[in-house]
Amino acid sequence: MNGIDPKTLLPDTGGENSAAGLDSSRHKDRKDLVFVNLGPSHPATHGCLRALCALDGETIVAAVTEMGYLHRGFEKDCEVHTFQQVIPYTDRLNYVSAIMNNVGYCKAVERMLGITIPDRAMYLRVITCELNRIIDHLVCAGANLVDLGALTNFWYSFNAREKVYNILEKLCGARLTSSYTRLGGLSRDAHPSFADEVRAVLKEVKKSVGEVNNLISKNRIFLDRTQGVCVISKERALSYGWTGPTLRACGMDYDLRKAEPYYHYDDFKFEVPVGTQGDTYDRIFVRLYEIEESANIIEQALKKLPKGPVMTDDKRVALPPKQETYGNIEGLMNHFKIIMHGICPEPGEIYDFTEAANGELGFYIVADGSKNPYRVKCRPPCLMNYAAFHEMIEGGMVSDAVANLGSINIIAGELDR
Amino acid sequence: MKNEEILEKLKQKHPQAVLGAADRFGYLEIQIAGASIAEVVKTLRDDPEFAFNMLIDLVSIDYSATQGWTGERFALAYLFKSLTLGHRLQLKVTVAEDEPVVPTISEFYANANWLEREAYDQMGVRFARHPNLKRLLNHHEFVGHPLRKDYPITKRQWLSANESLMDEMDVRLKAKGYQ
């Protein structure tokens, strides 16, 4: 200040404008706070979420969250539909990676029925799930970076995503709501050029991830806005029941594909990226590295992809071939039974889980011997993430809250069900 | 720990609380007396031999539409996982229709707060001493509990006013030193 002591310009009289008066740690008055709603309808909430924030200046001193804006009664709807009819509803849970929900639900019901699906179906489920994981992570990272003002990354990640969607569209006729699985297998086999097309797309995906990496990993603005921002401790994350990439970002090496493997995941060689700090930066980078690991898994699965049917021959769930249905009475009866009487697991209860893009996606299913599930409870992984959101953003700035919301990847369809 | 060992050890620790056990497709289910759920959960979390450091989910079930059902109307299934030891466990608590109240476990797991709110919202099971037992998924003006079997799926309700959330904010501000 040009050698002038600021105190001579503004003497500290101990009044309202004194340094002590502006120190918020000593002076806590609710009249100083401004209450601002983040959401429910806001571009950065990517869905309908609401966080009411009490601001002191630009710092969030307290926050409370509200959810349920996209609640459609998924669980109640399941109770009045047959086991097979629930599959399209599961598409609408995490609509960014729909096939993972299809697989999670079908795997639970198949275990209940005691059905082992054919190897080719398992491998195709792994491949499509990992393609969905890539999409999910690309969307999460891309959208998160847009919220930070880094629009170019969005084009790189969404271009790659579009190419993966082209494959899925060719595979099952739909882009987002694919309903690719059926109880006992898959709705249809992969087309002959599937493997080559996937390999070509994986190259582009890896290139895009590399480009995103180049743009952000040494970018001062990105680093300042994500490193040490909205940190959550390992212990707190566990207490909140976090799973998946967000838990791994806190330094927990926990992945259901390794810890409790299913569908031959133990035969694939892949690494589980783990963070150290539990901040926004780690959550973004764990996802980016997971994309590369998913690509590795897909390449191995394509190499090993066995020939054979994609649907079990168990007559309780598999529709007979059309020539059987039209050609003989047993086939016709079998078709009629499955369509009209449905698939009826024995009475019982099961909890089964898969590693979805956001973490442990679980289905608790109660069957009473009829064609409809008696009760379906979905465990959405991002519910646990959102439960911790208010705690993470307190003490930070509003812009940190926006950066954090993208990094914990809340998908409202899954959160609110 | 194997399923049988978990069951034996829990029986030793809480002989009064354990009512029975079942195998759910390889997943151990232990039936617990509702009143003692909080102390059992505390043991499961804090005892290093159990080390159930994660509450995976809380599932509420209404059995009243099951054919020939004679037990209590509601049940809660608490799903646990130990990340350090790798084992899983499910606790089952039955809840009476005339007084559907169970002690809260929200002091032991941070996510239990919301999971119990969801069970209350959807099924109408209440949790004694819960710090903030409000609806979670449904609108605050909603009447009834939609996942009960006697709630018609086609029923519609008119819900209009938005929620101020200031009741929750008040608690939060006090915790931060704003009186």
**C-alpha closest to that of A209 among A159, A273, A162, A279:** A159
Contact A64 B168 (CB under 8 A): yes
Residue A387 is nearest to which of B61, B111, B163, comparing CB atoms? B111
Quote the CA–CA distance of A233 and A221 in Å, as a whole number. Answer: 24
Quote the CA–CA distance of B97 and B94 in Å, as a whole number. Answer: 10
**Residue from A238, A258, A370, A379 whose CB has the most chain B CBs within 10 Å, to mutate:** A238
pLDDT at A6 over 80: no
SS3 of A196-227 = HHHHHHHHHHHHHHHHHHHHHCCCHHHHHHHC
pLDDT at A18 over 50: no
Token digits for A344? 């009826």
Average pLDDT of A151-158? 87
Q: What is the CATH number of the domain that holds B49?
A: 3.30.460.80
3-state secondary structure of A249: helix
CA A362, A367, A371 angle in degrees (round to 5)? 115
Q: How far is B138 from chain A (nearest CA, A)?
A: 6
pLDDT at A21 over 50: no
Residue-wise pLDDT for A62-120, tens only, equals 999 999 888 998 999 999 999 999 999 999 898 888 999 999 999 999 999 999 999 99
Quote the CA–CA distance of A309 and A120 in Å, as a whole number. Answer: 7
Q: How far is B88 from chain A (nearest CA, A)?
A: 11
Q: Which residues contact B118 (CB under 8 A, 6 or more apart)?
A: B58, B136, B137
Quote the CA–CA distance of A193 and B54 in Å, as a whole number. Answer: 44
**Residue from B59, B88, B145 whose CB has the most chain A CBs within 10 Å, to mutate:** B59
Spell out the alpha helix ranges (H) of A96-176.
Answer: 98-113, 119-147, 151-172
Quick one: what percent of chain B has pLDDT higher than 90?
Answer: 46
pLDDT at A3 over 50: no
Q: How far is A316 from chain B (nearest CA, A)?
A: 19
For chain A, the average pLDDT equals 87
Contact A68 B122 (CB under 8 A): no
Quick one: what percent of chain A has pLDDT higher than 90?
Answer: 47
Q: Domain ranges in chain A? A: 74-416
Q: How far is B179 from chain A (nearest CA, A)?
A: 7
- The secondary structure element, H or E, covering residue A284 is helix A280-304
pLDDT at A4 over 70: no
Residue A71 is nearest to which of B77, B113, B137, comparing CB atoms? B137
By C-alpha distance, the chain B residue nearest A235 is B53
Q: Which residues contact B127 (CB under 8 A, 6 or more apart)?
A: B101, B102, B103, B104, B106, B116, B119, B120, B133
- The secondary structure element, H or E, covering residue A356 is strand A348-356
What pLDDT does residue A133 have? 93
Question: CATH fold of A74-416, please?
Answer: Cytochrome-c3 Hydrogenase; chain B (1.10.645)
Domain span at B85: 3-175
**C-alpha closest to that of A113 among A346, A307, A293:** A346
Residue-wise pLDDT for A262-314, tens only, equals 998 989 999 999 999 889 999 999 999 999 999 999 999 999 999 989 999 88
Which chain A residues are Cβ-neighbours of B55 within 8 angstroms?
241
This prediction has a pTM of: 0.88
Confidence of residue A412 (pLDDT cuts 50, 70, 90): confident
Output B39-44 pairs: Cβ under 8 A, ≥24 positions apart: B39/B14, B40/B10, B40/B14, B40/B91, B41/B78, B41/B91, B41/B105, B41/B108, B41/B109, B42/B108, B43/B10, B43/B13, B43/B14, B44/B10, B44/B80, B44/B89, B44/B91
- Cα-to-chain-centroid distance, residue B95: 11
**Quick count: other Cβ atoms within 10 Å of Cβ A265?**
20
By C-alpha distance, the chain A residue nearest B67 is A368
pLDDT at B64 over 70: yes
Quote the CA–CA distance of A137 and A284 in Å, as a whole number. Answer: 9
Q: Which residues contact A322 (CB under 8 A, 6 or more apart)?
A: none
**Quick count: other Cβ atoms within 10 Å of Cβ B51?**
18
Quote the CA–CA distance of A116 and A122 in Å, as a whole number. Answer: 9
Residue A379 is nearest to which of B56, B146, B147, comparing CB atoms? B56
Packing angle between helix A280-304 and helix A119-147, nearest 10 degrees? 150
Instruction: Say which amino acid occupies B110.
Output: A
User: How many residue pairs from chains A and B have C-beta atoms closer than 8 A?
Assistant: 130
What pLDDT does residue A25 have? 56
Number of domains in chain B: 1
Quote the CA–CA distance of B167 and B127 in Å, as a whole number. Answer: 19
**146-165 in B: which are within 8 Å (CB) of A?**
146-147, 151, 153, 163, 165
Q: Which residues of A321-352 are buried (b: 16+ CB within 10 A; e: fewer)?
A: eeeebeeeeebeebbeebeeeebbbeeebbbb
Token digits for A291? 């994309």
Contact A379 B61 (CB under 8 A): no
Residue-wise pLDDT for A177-203, tens only, equals 888 999 989 988 888 899 999 999 999
**Residue from B67, B114, B139 whose CB has the most chain A CBs within 10 Å, to mutate:** B114
Instruction: Say which amino acid occupies A324.
Output: E
Output B117-120 pairs: Cβ under 8 A, ≥24 positions apart: B118/B58, B119/B58, B119/B60, B119/B76
The complex's ipTM works out to: 0.92
Average pLDDT of B25-44? 89
Contact B163 A73 (CB under 8 A): no
Q: How far is B89 from chain A (nearest CA, A)?
A: 11
Which chain B residues are Cβ-neighbours of A374 within 8 angstroms?
65-66
pLDDT at A7 over 50: no
Q: Which residues of A385-396 are buried (b: 16+ CB within 10 A; e: fewer)?
A: bbbbbbbbbbeb
Which chain A residues are Cβ-neighbours of B93 within 8 angstroms?
none
**Burial status of residue A372 (CB atoms within 10 A of its CB: 0-12, 13-18, 19 or more):** middle
pLDDT at A1 over 80: no
Contact B114, B93 (CB under 8 A): no
Q: Which residues contact A265 (CB under 8 A, 6 or more apart)?
A: A126, A257, A258, A297
Q: How far is B178 from chain A (nearest CA, A)?
A: 5
Confidence of residue A124 (pLDDT cuts 50, 70, 90): very high
**C-alpha closest to that of B141 among B156, B118, B159:** B159
Q: What are phi and psi of A53, to 5 degrees?
A: -115, 135
Contact A348 B25 (CB under 8 A): yes
pLDDT at A365 over 90: yes
**C-alpha closest to that of A127 among A179, A173, A194, A178:** A194
Dihedral (Cα; A374, A47, B163, A58), 10-degree rounding:
140
Instruction: Say which amino acid occupies A222.
Output: F
User: Parallel, antiparallel, or unpaired: how do β-strands B101-103 and B126-128 relate?
Assistant: parallel
Token digits for A189? 């086999």
Average pLDDT of A233-262? 91
